[in-house]
Amino acid sequence: EGACMIMRPRGLPAAAARLRPHLPRVTAFLIVFSVGYSLGIVSSSARPSTPKPSQTVIRPHAAHLTAASSAGVTASSNGTGAGASASYPRSPPHDLFRFGDKCGEPVPAEDVVKTLLDKLFDGESPYASFPPAHTAALLHPAAARPRGWGSTGAVFADLIEEVRPDVIVELGAFLGASALHMAAVARNLSLSPAILCVDDFRGWPAFRGRFRRDVPQQRHGDALLLPQFMANVLAAGPEAAAAVLPLPFSTASTLGALCRWGVYADLIEVDAGHDFHSAWADINLAWAVLRPGGVMFGHDYFTAADDRGVRRAVTLFARVKGLTVRPHGQHWILSPKPRGDGR
């Protein structure tokens, strides 16, 4: 009955007359409602949305690192072949893979030591008149066999015999154990390579606690590793001192300089920083100064130190470069540098 009333045309003017007094309030309500609604839409579209915890935010510049890419190589996170895998791009633009591979015109092997003495030591051997009395008083008596880590492993003799190097670069020399062993091995093979020992001779934070009998007491913040290394080399005889040259700087800066100066090595031992990033940088930078046909090897392939940083770096490098890794005792050996890779 009511519905019929509304349908009746005659009833409309009466209903309108009844609503008329409420019209201003209804209109005002509608205006306020529409303005509020519009403002709400505008502000919600301007505010950045907070991702839900389960959402992964891939920023555009890093997207290529997380996207599964057919151009990339896959490396296991622990370097053992097991565990979660991550995809890496094969080439720049990412800095992780951007290392120069073009170095200077090669200095002839027989001129390498003179070149370095000129550039680093004002043309004079660092062993000349060493040690001055005030330094000698601070040092331990030179050890016949300085403290090291796998420093006399069979890998040294095997590789020196195989490669017959004119120039060896050692990254990480500590007290000279492995360098002196290489000098002795080379001598037994009637070889006389220059053995360039790159080490900042600072050790690592609080290292001395474990080596009080091997390393002198620090002096004014100086670990005195360099003079102890040099004393150990001199004690091994003049032939050792003629062969083993300390390059007392960081591995990265030294490798960059060797590259610029055209100083190449036939054999490179990597045994400095053992975290992934140090080992990764050392291996990549050293590769540039490895002569094609030369061999790179290093220590600590099997130890769990630094979350297997060395092993992960070696594994990734081998995959990126298409090389093989040959374990040898505690050491790793990469297949020889292909001719045509860099200089």
Ligand X SMILES: C[S@@+](CC[C@H](N)C(=O)[O-])C[C@H]1O[C@@H](n2cnc3c(N)ncnc32)[C@H](O)[C@@H]1O
Residue 199 contacts ligand X per CB under 6 A: yes
Give the footprint of ligand X on residues 40-99 (CB under 6 A): none
Alpha-carbon gap, residue 187 to 184, rounded angstroms: 5
Residue 126 or 273: the one with the smaller Cβ distance to ligand X is 273
β strands within the chain, DSSP E? 73-76, 85-88, 167-171, 194-198, 244-247, 265-270, 290-298, 325-328, 331-334
Q: Does 173 bind ligand X (CB under 6 A)?
A: yes
CB of 64 or CB of 202, closer to ligand X = 202
Return the range that interacts with ligand X (CB under 6 A); candidates 43-51, 134-142, 169-177, 209-217.
169-177
Tell me the closest approach of the beta carbon of residue 183 to ligand X, in angstroms. Answer: 13
- How many angstroms separate the first and last alpha carbons of the chain? 101
Shorter beta-carbon distance to ligand X: residue 148 or 227: 148
Size of the site for ligand X (CB under 6 A): 19
**Is residue 231 at the binding interface for ligand X, with CB under 6 A as the rule?**
no
Q: Which of 291, 247, 249, 250 shows the shortest CA–CA distance to 268?
A: 291
Degrees, nearest 5: CA angle 220-199-226: 45
Member of 97, 121, 130, 149 binding ligand X (CB under 6 A): 149
What is the residue-wise DSSP string for 105-145?
A: PPPPGGGHHHHHHHHHSTTS-TTTTPSPHHHHTTSPPPPSS
Among 271, 298, 301, 331, binds ligand X (CB under 6 A): 271
User: With respect to ligand X, which residue has the nearer C-beta, 166 or 282?
Assistant: 282
Which residues make Cβ contacts (< 8 Å) with residue 40, sequence separation at least 6? none
Q: How far is the CB of 177 from ligand X (least distance, A)?
A: 4
Integer Cα distance of 317 and 313 in angstroms = 6
The contact pattern for ligand X, residues 177-196, with x = CB under 6 A and - = no contact, is: xx------------------
Binding site for ligand X (CB under 6 A): 148-149, 151, 172-174, 177-178, 199-203, 250-251, 271-273, 278
